[in-house]
């Protein structure tokens, strides 16, 4: 005589439990596509926009390093870091500046790249993953022939807004420093 059967679903058929398990997969580019190939239930869960947001939020503190930005004076390119199947092709991150222009990469932080376009006296804030670009004019008060340094960062807890801090020499007195802060939220 067998014992009573439970009406509870097997663990891997329980959407909530399965979501919690899949949420803890490593944040490698191949993780979710591989999970999607298991069955329709898993594909539906892995491709759900709500699950994708939770997956990114869960791994936001320690995202994988996918590529390295290389500036070799003639061009800027991305060098893939990971081996197959997680290798991201260089063509996935086309650099949005003309090769003929004079530019300097000032920094990368929080998934954003900050580029100074010398000939246009503009800063470019670029998100290589989404392709979003924001061009900022260098504010008045900065000397035209100065080394400008700047940093970019995302606003705390917000993926859509960012801040840029610029520091350089004054156009009035070259020994005087000037600074400016730009916020995309304001």
Q: Is the pTM of this model over 0.85?
A: no
Write down the pLDDT at residue 143: 72
Write down the pLDDT at residue 142: 80
Burial label, 180 (beta-carbon count in 10 A; 0-12, 13-18, 19+): middle
Write down the pLDDT at residue 11: 61
> Helix 15-23 crosses helix 49-58 at what angle (to 10 degrees)?
40
Mean pLDDT value across residues 124-138? 84
**Exposure string over 126-139, b if 16+ CB within 10 A, otherwise e:** bbbeeeeeeebebe
**Exposure string over 93-113, b if 16+ CB within 10 A, otherwise e:** bebebeeeeebbbbbbeebbb
pLDDT interval class at 81 (50, 70, 90): confident
Q: What is the pLDDT of residues 12-40, one digit of tens each?
A: 667 788 889 898 988 888 888 898 898 89
Which strand (E) or helix (H) includes residue 93? none
pLDDT interval class at 72 (50, 70, 90): low
Mean pLDDT value across residues 167-172? 82
Q: What is the mean pLDDT of the chain?
A: 79
List alpha helices for 1-160, DSSP H: 15-23, 31-36, 40-46, 49-58
């Amino acid at each position: 005589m067998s014992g009573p059967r439970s009406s509870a679903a097997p663990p891997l058929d329980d959407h909530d439990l399965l979501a919690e398990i899949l949420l803890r997969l490593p944040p490698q580019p191949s993780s979710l596509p591989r999970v999607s190939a298991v069955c329709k239930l898993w594909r539906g869960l892995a491709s759900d926009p709500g699950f994708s947001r939770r997956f990114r939020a869960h791994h936001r503190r320690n995202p994988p390093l996918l590529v390295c930005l290389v500036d070799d004076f003639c061009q800027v390119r991305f060098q893939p870091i990971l081996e197959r199947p997680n290798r991201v092709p260089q063509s996935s991150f086309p650099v949005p500046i003309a090769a003929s222009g004079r530019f300097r990469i000032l920094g990368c932080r929080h998934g954003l790249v900050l580029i100074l376009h010398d000939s246009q006296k503009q800063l470019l804030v670029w998100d290589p993953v989404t392709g979003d670009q924001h061009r900022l004019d260098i504010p008045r008060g900065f000397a035209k022939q100065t080394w400008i340094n700047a940093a970019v960062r995302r606003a705390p807890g917000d993926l859509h807004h960012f801040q840029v801090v610029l520091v350089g020499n004054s156009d009035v007195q070259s020994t005087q420093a000037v600074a400016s802060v730009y916020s995309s939220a304001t």
